[in-house]
């Protein structure tokens, strides 16, 4: 690929997706003989120009993910993985975010948030941006990644390059494996346009001729069954050495004639429809949430259309026909130069034959204090244990539960489950505990988006083992990550707890950065016990000693700590806030941070995804810096640090600074105590604040600028540094 083409793909302006909204400071009139002095105009904190639209900000994050596919510091298959994650993220963005905006418009309930942008305006901007980025995505795939993979003998063989041997093999494969289970649908008055499943691969076929019944509608639809692989490996004796693949879509294109005997196929074009996948379940109007949810899950596959993807070779009259069938506008049509279902390429990103094209494996470490501990309860009773995943192993959390299941002194186990999987080691241990006579209570959030079906299976499995299963609280998702174990020791009942920022999912613990705290602190464990009591039973809010919890005390606690830091700054004392989270959208929290900045508080924010705050605005957010770190692992920790006049306070949390987390969910925010642990977390946060290779800085106009080493700076990669320090891997590929 030539340099000019690469520059087009990676052009900086391609990611400058939000228009500047901050007006330049006005000038104060002066006498002609004196130099003009600008007067700083400070907008009201309610001014819409101070806020970024959340959906546009989320789109920015997805674009930063796509940028990683151009980063040559990653192994080649990892770059492909980022490109596919962009596709997966974009699917969910349309299924949930775009669908939500369209729903507001359709029901005449348009409502602008703090940024002042109306839903129809946001949709127009989203369409403009996504069309540009999808074009870039396919250019990166076709012009950079696939040619690079071919150099390593990983090939996706297009039809025009099929050898006679491959053509013969494809024909046999199509005849034996595809044709028997595929169902072409001719379109006529007795065969109306079929109801197509969300995100399924389909083909629209243009036909010529009359069939056996005299029908000549000229059009047909071929739905590709979901059980068919989207890419098929070609045997070495057919395709030659290396890893050779053929797309299912290519096979269907090549043999569409075989599906319409006696008729001529003038054209066959793949397309994919994205639908609204947000569940419309009103939990207040149902008597049995699990039963209602099972019924609603089926309807998710057939929600309202929100996006149409078609091959860019599809004639306009056919794409217009499809748009009409789905009641979509031309702005919702995306023409792509390649497969419409790119996420199916994930199946080749872990090729055993090419470990050199992937990140080197690593072994998460287990802290020395736990390595030789036969009784994990004894260890935790002496001191709190803090783990940072994936650099440190999630195994101690599983081991704690396994020991609890077998320990004759353990009386009861209580646990929240948001995303864990029905067949995880955590669930195995809970099942064993229930079967061993422990009192097991699981608070399962059935409405964890896209994990609802798995959680229903999980609930059934635990109930069959004899555990008590609770579905949380009506109207409030239970997003807290906590485990409580009650153990009889010396005639007394002692509590042990696990609190985390992530889910009880061992797989995610290898991919996401999250903290786990194992503790037997009396006050904190008592708070966890009280929160379980609130979730399981009924009653007034119980007073907590250390734990902040949404929807009751967390938001107020955060605002109070920001206000306290603001007061320290007003008194001329050092004041500093460092916060790390996935998203920052809550307008009240943003206004509080603006006030703190105006008072002189230094504020460092590490926000991976959506951020509606605009940093660097003179007189408002000039003391605030926002950075986003995108790396090998998904940044998922939530950390809140306050200098507090020298009496430092540091919290870990399951909650982002979003309205839904602070107002509409059950969340926990727990303190890290002791100078040693606080210092440790501060140093680990410092890695994010000094990263100059995978960090992006949010600009006042809403764009992001990637950090690179300058001058004599050494490259600093936060995640690689933590791997070096905490894990046991033999090699890190940077």
Active site residues: 479
Find how far residue 112's CA is from the centre of its chain: 25
**Residue 587 near residue 54, CB atoms below 8 Å:** no
Contacts of 564 (CB under 8 A, 6+ apart): 642, 644
Contacts of 321 (CB under 8 A, 6+ apart): 204, 219
Cα atoms found within 13 Å of the Cα of residue 276, Cβ hemisphere only? 17
**Residue 570 near residue 596, CB atoms below 8 Å:** no
**Residue 365 near residue 726, CB atoms below 8 Å:** yes
Rounded CA-CA distance 661/654 in Å is: 9
Burial zone of 119 (CB within 10 Å; 0-12 exposed, 13-18 middle, 19+ buried): buried
Cα atoms found within 13 Å of the Cα of residue 119, Cβ hemisphere only? 15
Which two three-digit tokens encode residue 431?
């099942």
Q: Residues 496, 502, 508, 511: is their CA dihedral positive or negative?
A: negative
Which phi and psi angles does 723 have, rounded to 5°? -60, -45
- Residue ranges in 495-641 assigned as alpha helix (H): 522-536, 554-570, 587-599
Which two three-digit tokens encode residue 574?
């050092």
Rounded CA-CA distance 400/385 in Å is: 12
Q: Judging by DSSP bridges, how do beta strands 649-653 and 639-642 pair with one another? A: antiparallel
- Residue pointed to by tokens 């980063």: 71
Contacts of 524 (CB under 8 A, 6+ apart): 497, 499, 545, 546, 547, 670, 671
């Amino acid at each position: 690929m030539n340099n000019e083409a690469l520059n087009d793909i990676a052009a900086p302006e391609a990611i400058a997706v939000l228009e500047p909204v901050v007006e330049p400071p006005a000038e104060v009139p002066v006498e002609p003989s004196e130099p003009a002095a600008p007067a700083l105009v400070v907008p009201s904190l309610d001014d819409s120009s101070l806020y970024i639209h959340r959906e546009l900000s989320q789109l920015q994050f997805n674009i930063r993910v796509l940028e990683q596919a151009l980063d040559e510091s990653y192994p080649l298959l990892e770059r492909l993985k980022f490109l596919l994650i962009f596709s997966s993220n974009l699917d969910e963005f349309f299924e949930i975010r775009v669908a939500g905006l369209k729903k507001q418009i359709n029901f005449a309930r348009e409502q602008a948030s703090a940024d002042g942008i109306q839903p129809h305006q946001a949709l127009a901007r989203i369409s403009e941006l996504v069309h540009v980025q999808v074009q870039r995505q396919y250019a990166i795939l076709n012009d950079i990644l696939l040619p690079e993979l071919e150099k390593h003998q990983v090939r996706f063989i297009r039809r025009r390059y099929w050898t006679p041997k491959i053509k013969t093999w494809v024909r046999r494969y199509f005849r034996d494996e595809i044709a028997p289970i595929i169902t072409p649908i001719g379109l006529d008055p007795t065969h109306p346009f079929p109801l197509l499943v969300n995100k399924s691969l389909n083909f629209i076929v243009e036909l010529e001729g009359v069939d056996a019944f005299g029908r000549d509608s000229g059009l047909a639809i071929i739905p590709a069954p979901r059980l068919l692989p989207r890419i098929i490996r070609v045997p070495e004796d057919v395709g030659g050495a290396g890893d050779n693949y053929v797309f299912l879509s290519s096979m269907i294109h090549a043999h569409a004639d075989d599906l319409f005997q006696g008729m001529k196929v003038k054209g066959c074009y793949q397309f994919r429809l994205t639908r609204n996948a947000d569940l419309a379940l009103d939990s207040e109007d149902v008597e049995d949430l699990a039963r209602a949810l099972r019924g609603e899950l089926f309807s998710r596959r057939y929600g309202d259309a929100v996006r149409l993807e078609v091959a860019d070779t599809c004639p306009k009259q056919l794409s217009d026909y499809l748009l009409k069938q789905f009641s979509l506008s031309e702005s919702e049509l995306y023409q792509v130069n390649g497969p419409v279902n790119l996420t199916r390429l994930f199946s080749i990103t872990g090729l055993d034959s090419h470990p050199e094209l992937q990140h080197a494996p690593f072994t998460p470490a287990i802290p020395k204090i736990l390595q030789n501990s036969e009784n994990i309860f004894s260890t935790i009773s002496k001191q709190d244990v803090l783990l940072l995943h994936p650099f440190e192993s999630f195994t101690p959390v599983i081991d704690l539960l396994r020991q609890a299941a077998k320990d004759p002194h353990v009386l009861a186990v209580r646990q929240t489950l948001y995303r864990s999987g029905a067949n995880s080691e955590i669930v195995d241990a809970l099942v064993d505990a229930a079967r061993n006579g422990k009192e097991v209570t699981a608070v399962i959030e059935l409405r964890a988006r896209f994990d609802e079906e798995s959680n229903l299976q999980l609930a059934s499995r635990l109930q069959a083992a004899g555990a008590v299963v609770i579905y949380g609280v009506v109207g409030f998702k239970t997003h807290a990550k906590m485990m409580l174990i009650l153990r009889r020791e010396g005639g007394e009942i002692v509590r042990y707890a696990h609190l985390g920022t992530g889910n009880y999912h061992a797989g995610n613990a290898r991919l996401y950065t999250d903290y786990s705290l194992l503790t037997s602190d009396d006050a904190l464990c008592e708070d966890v016990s009280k929160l379980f009591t609130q979730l399981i039973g009924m009653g007034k809010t119980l007073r907590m000693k250390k734990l902040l919890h949404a929807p009751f005390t967390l938001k107020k606690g955060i605002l109070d700590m920001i206000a306290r830091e603001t007061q320290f700054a007003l008194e001329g004392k050092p004041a500093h806030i460092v916060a790390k989270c996935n998203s920052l959208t809550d307008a009240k929290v943003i206004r509080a941070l603006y006030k703190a900045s105006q008072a002189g508080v230094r504020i460092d924010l590490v926000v991976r995804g959506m951020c509606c705050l605009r940093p660097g605005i003179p007189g408002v957010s000039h003391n605030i810096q926002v950075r986003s770190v995108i790396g090998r692992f998904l940044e998922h920790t939530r950390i809140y640090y306050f200098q507090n006049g020298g009496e430092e306070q540091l919290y870990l949390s399951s909650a982002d600074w979003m309205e839904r987390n602070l107002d509409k969910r059950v969340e926990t925010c727990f303190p890290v105590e002791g100078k040693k642990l606080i210092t440790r977390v501060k140093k680990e946060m410092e890695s994010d604040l000094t990263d100059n290779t995978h960090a992006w800085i949010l600009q006042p106009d809403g764009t992001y600028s990637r950090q690179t080493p300058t001058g004599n700076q050494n490259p600093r990669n936060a995640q690689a540094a933590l791997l070096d320090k905490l894990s046991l891997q033999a090699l890190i590929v940077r």
